[in-house]
Amino acid sequence: MELGGHIMVDQNTLTFEELMTLAKKSRDFSQIENRVNETKVLISYFSTLVNHELMQTSFLSNLNVKDENLKIKSLKDLQELLPLSEMSITKDLSEIENKLYKGQLIVQIENDTSEFLLININSCQTGLRQFNDSENEFSVVGPKMGFVEDIDTNMNLLRRKINSPKLVIEEILIGSLSKTRVMIVYMDGITSEQHINTVRERLADIDIDIVWDTSLLDQVIRDNQNTPFPLYLSTERIDRITYTIVSGQIAIFSDGTPYAISGPSTLFDFFISPEDYYLNWVLGSFFRFIRIMGVFFSIFTSSIYVAVLTFHYEVIPKDLLGPLIESRANVPFPPILEVIFLELTIELLREAGARLPTKVGQTLGIVGGIVIGQAAVAAALTSNILLIIVALSALSSFTTPIFVMSNTIRVLRFVFIILASFLGGLGIILGFVFLLAHLFRLKSFGTPYLVPLYPFRRNALADSFIRSSFKFINKRPEYLRPRDPLKYGVKKKKKTKGDLSDE
């Protein structure tokens, strides 16, 4: 803390000369002296950061003034001469330092050394991808666009989606070394003031060297540091972020990453897929319900297998008993080892698949899945039924649309398996009670995580387990405390008695 304060003071007292000597240590720093008629102009910049073409065509060529009567007396005169839009005159040294390292030109004239003209001709698009498919959160129906690494492009994409003066984008710089631009995006007049302040305060409190990703901000500002659950929705999809912002949440973007986080989120937000809204509500509800069932299936099946086969043989349906025993007949391990072995195999496959290049990864997935699975059964290391259970529960954990959440679910599974191996069904229930107690206590920006189940909010249930018709989900969720509770009005259709042809 003390050290950080010291550095901060140092930076503030840096003079322009010191700044220049520090910059001159780098090879890519250049200074050129130019003359506009009589006046000497000193231009300092980092050659690696500026757009050279723009510099030649718009800046340097305009300095060669033909009109000999023109006198440059102040920076204002120079500013008028140039056909560039992003220029500012400042005395603030910290701003100069900042902008210099972001690729702006710093222009001085000899008559007045106290002021500086900052010209933005940086090449911010260099090295960034043009391609913005949302690869990791794919959806079949609906837009496929996602955010990119460049924050200005992202804001552009967002503004094009929400075309309203209410959309407010606040910017702060975070990171003592990276000076990353972090944007707080919300809807003025909709989002709760209290939540906006919380976000502002928490972001302002951050003291970190480099902001690698928004997930880092997520981890630093979250309400509970020790939970495996993600407390803020993290996504690269434009439509998803737009939906959260419009619902009254606050989104946080940071430069250099396509992922944005938004909060306050609830547990249910993580099982929402944009497709739920692009499909008819009946289909949407069905698929969402399947997804939520998948979560329970994924967490509990392997552990129930262990519990039942180790402790509770009584509960097996009589017709399943034969197949179960037959499949386990030659397996030399107790069920717990069998399950752990298979679960770890699946985790290894997943981890290897994620590290390898796409094409190799796919092949490995198939080869590994089929060959290892078959061989393990043939070698009597595991039973067929378990293979199916584990594969299905892995499959259902991937149905969760938010990647972070599906990771959480996979980790939770192991806890339950181990509990089941010690205490059987009692262990599973014990784990479930602990899990519920933990979820009840979680908060995201001060909002309960398990709302609308706890505290119970009947109105918000319409868009939780199921996705009701748009007629019923026109209100913003109460727990976000929106200042404007209505998203859109619903006109009641007049029921007219018509004859058959009215159809």
Partner 1 sequence: MNSMKASYMKSKFIISIIVSLVFCTLLSGCVPRSIIDELGITHTIGIDEENGKLTATVLYPNYTNSNKSSVIKTAADNPSTLKSNLGHKSQSQIVLGQIRTFVFGDSYSKAGISRVLETICKDATIGNITFVVSDLKAEDIIRGLKTAPPLYLSHLLETSVLHEGTPETNIHTLVSQYYGSGIDIYLPNISFDNDKQLIINGLTIFKGEKSKLTISNKEAFLFKLMNDKNKSGYYDITLPIKDNQKEKDDKQQKQHNDKKQGDQSEKRPGNENNFALKSLYGKHKITLHKKGDENTINMNLTLNVELKGIPESIHIEKKEDYEYLKKTMEKIIAKDTETLLKKLQQNEVDPFGFGIIYRSESKEWNEKEFYQTIYPKMKFSVKTELILRQLGVGE
What residues make contact with partner 1 under the rule CB under 8 A? Answer: 308-311, 313-314, 316, 318-319, 321-322, 324-326, 328-329, 331, 334-335, 422-424, 426-427, 430
Relative to beta strand 250-254, strand 443-444 is unpaired
Peptide bond into 83 cis (omega under 30): no
Tell me the closest approach of the beta carbon of residue 391 to partner 1, in angstroms: 21
Query: Which CB atom, from 269 or from 338, has the smaller least distance to partner 1?
Result: 338
Q: Using DSSP bridges, classify how beta strands 87-90 and 447-448 pair: parallel, antiparallel or unpaired.
A: unpaired
Per-residue exposure over 196-232, b if at least 16 CB sit within 10 Å of its own CB, e if not: bebbeebbeeeeeeebebbbbbbebbbbeeeeebbbb
Nearer of residues 255 and 338 to partner 1, judged by Cβ: 338
256 vs 181: CA distance, rounded Å: 9
Q: If you search the block for the tokens 């129930």, which residue do you land on?
A: 304
Q: Residue 416 CB, nearest distance to partner 1 (Å)?
A: 14
Q: Is the dihedral of CA 303, 306, 312, 316 positive or negative?
A: positive
Compute the least distance from the CB of residue 23 to partner 1, in Å: 43
Q: How far is the CB of 202 from partner 1 (least distance, A)?
A: 20
* Closest approach of partner 1 to the CB of residue 131, in Å: 48
Q: Cα–Cα distance between 284 and 140 in angstroms, integer?
A: 13
Q: Based on the number of CB atoms within 10 Å of its own CB, is 62 exposed (0-12), middle (13-18) or buried (19 or more)?
A: middle
Q: Which residues pair with 180 in a beta bridge?
A: 174
CB of 208 to partner 1, least distance (A): 23
Least separation in angstroms between residue 451's CB and partner 1 is: 25
223/236 with CB nearer partner 1 = 223
Q: Which is nearer to partner 1, 230 or 427 (CB)?
A: 427
Distance CA 154, CA 470 (A): 28
* Cα→Cα distances 251→181, 183, 271, 354, Å: 14, 8, 18, 28
Residues 444, 263: contact at Cβ < 8 Å? yes
Element (H, E) at 46: strand 39-46
- With respect to partner 1, which residue has the nearer C-beta, 153 or 310? 310
Smallest distance from partner 1 to CB 426, Å: 7
- Smallest separation, CB 151 to partner 1 (Å): 38
Tokens of 227: 């939970």
Looking at the Cβ atoms of 124 and 430, the one nearer to partner 1 is 430
Task: Choose between 91 and 312: whose C-beta lies nearer to partner 1.
Answer: 312
Residue 494 tokens read as 């007049």
Nearer to partner 1 by Cβ, of 308 and 412: the residue is: 308
Q: Which is nearer to partner 1, 401 or 424 (CB)?
A: 424
> In this structure, how many other beta carbons lie within 10 angstroms of the beta carbon of residue 354?
8
Give Cα 288 distance to the centre of its chain: 21
Mention every residue, 6+ apart, whose C-beta is less than 8 A from residue 172: 181, 182, 184, 200, 203, 204
Min dist. Cβ of residue 205 to partner 1 (A): 18
Nearer to partner 1 (CB atom), residue 67 or residue 319: 319
Distance of CA 335 to the CA centre of its chain: 38
Please state the closest distance from residue 12 (CB atom) to partner 1, in A: 31
**Torsional sign, CA 36, 38, 39, 40:** positive
**Which of 175/427 has CB closer to partner 1?**
427
